Chain A
Amino acid sequence: MNALAPETGLLPGFSDPVAQSQKVFRVVLEAMSRPGTIVAAHTVASAPRPLDPVAAALILALVDYETPLWLDPAAAQPAVIDYLRFHCGCPLVERPDQAAFALITDPKSMPPLSSFYLGSDEYPDRSTTVIVQVPHLDGGEGWSLKGPGIRDQAILSAGHLPAAFKAWVQDNHLLFPRGIDLLFAAPTHVAGLPRSTQLEG
């Protein structure tokens, strides 16, 4: 991609939106139905910084004009905002609890999971899905996961998360059927941590 003048610096999204969205959706489906499994990501060629191409592909596939998106302060850059407005047409919201999807690019300073929309008893499916961009999916402290979609036990070690993250996930699980679903986007892979998953050790 050539360097572009500022006002024309929009990066292209998917070259084939239908087929590529479907591929990304398959990745998300696999990651969510087998929590902790590290799934090879489908990605886009380029994304405006600090957005990684894998996280960008997730957003392009999942977010549209009917799904309000919350960006963490690190992601809320003009280039990212223009990119998302153009390709997704999504409303950007000020508060995490107004969002159908949230994008975290600086996990260390992410807000607690309880600050997102947790869903209602009538419509637990309307809770926020949080996409967390992480540098890697191995080499962290390693949590052991249990629950639907996990035969015995799965290990997930997403890196660079706040110290309280584990406690947040445990509290989130207790809200079931309400609660947040998490998707981790590493540079080449994706992993899911839905609300149904219990976190141990």
Chain B
Amino acid sequence: MAYAANENDARRLWMGVLAQSAEAELARLWSGLSGLPGWDHLRRPEVGLVMVRGRMGGDGGPFNLGEMTVTRCSVRLENGAVGHAWVAGRSAAHAEMAAVADALMQDPAWRDVVGQKLVAPLHRALAAAQEQAGRKAAATRVDFFTMVRGED
């Protein structure tokens, strides 16, 4: 591929954020973007399965845990930039928005706008939800004390 290693890392991050975000939140922020370029499907949204693998013992060789539903979609913008999306679940709209956003993020003319208005708020929302879940869990942290049993 034509991307530098660090460009791959950046893309990996935004693709992950787009896939993991709630569809409603993505759609809400999406509606705030205007003047988007036209695009075509390279691959229409398509629902299928991905086999989720675990590791034997958590750290050993892989095994097949079970499948999950996934929707993938690929688009090409008018200017030629290609975007891909692989999103858990069966929402064509989610996968399509994620694919177009992936293409826009590769387009220098759009990266800043889409990054600031879409990817960054989604990223913050994910982090906040994760942080909140972590603090709720932490409130249930317990210290067990071993009681010394008295001798008869």
Q: Is A155 an interface residue (CB 8 A)?
A: no
Q: Is B71 an interface residue (CB 8 A)?
A: no
Contact of A86 with B44 at beta-carbon distance under 8 Å, contacts A4-B80, A8-B82 already known = no
Q: Is A148 an interface residue (CB 8 A)?
A: no
Classify the secondary structure of B's interface with A: strand
Q: Which residues of A contact B82 (CB under 8 A)?
A: 7-8, 10
Interface string of B36-53 (1 = CB under 8 A from A): 000011111010000000
- Min CB distance, A130 to chain B, in Å? 27
Segment from A11-19, A96-104, A111-119 that makes contact with B: A11-19
Q: Is A5 an interface residue (CB 8 A)?
A: yes
Q: Which residues of B contact A146 (CB under 8 A)?
A: none
Contact of A12 with B42 at beta-carbon distance under 8 Å, contacts A7-B2, A86-B74 already known = yes
Interface string of B59-101 (1 = CB under 8 A from A): 0000000000000001010001110000000000000000000
A8 vs B40: C-alpha distance when bound (angstroms)? 12
- B76 (CB) vs chain A CBs: closest residue: A8
Contact of A12 with B80 at beta-carbon distance under 8 Å, contacts A7-B2, A17-B46, A86-B74 already known = no
Is A8 a contact partner of B43 (Cβ separation < 8 A)?
no
Is B46 a contact partner of A12 (Cβ separation < 8 A)?
no
A interface residues, Cβ below 8 angstroms from B: 4-5, 7-8, 10, 12-13, 15-17, 86-87
- A/B interface sample: 26 pairs, CB < 8 A: A4-B80, A5-B80, A7-B1, A7-B2, A7-B82, A8-B76, A8-B80, A8-B81, A8-B82, A10-B42, A10-B74, A10-B76, A10-B82, A12-B40, A12-B41, A12-B42, A12-B43, A13-B43, A15-B44, A16-B44, A17-B44, A17-B46, A86-B42, A86-B43, A86-B74, A87-B43
B interface residues, Cβ below 8 angstroms from A: 1-2, 40-44, 46, 74, 76, 80-82
7 smallest CB-CB distances across A and B, nearest first, come from A8-B80, A7-B2, A8-B82, A5-B80, A12-B42, A10-B42, A4-B80
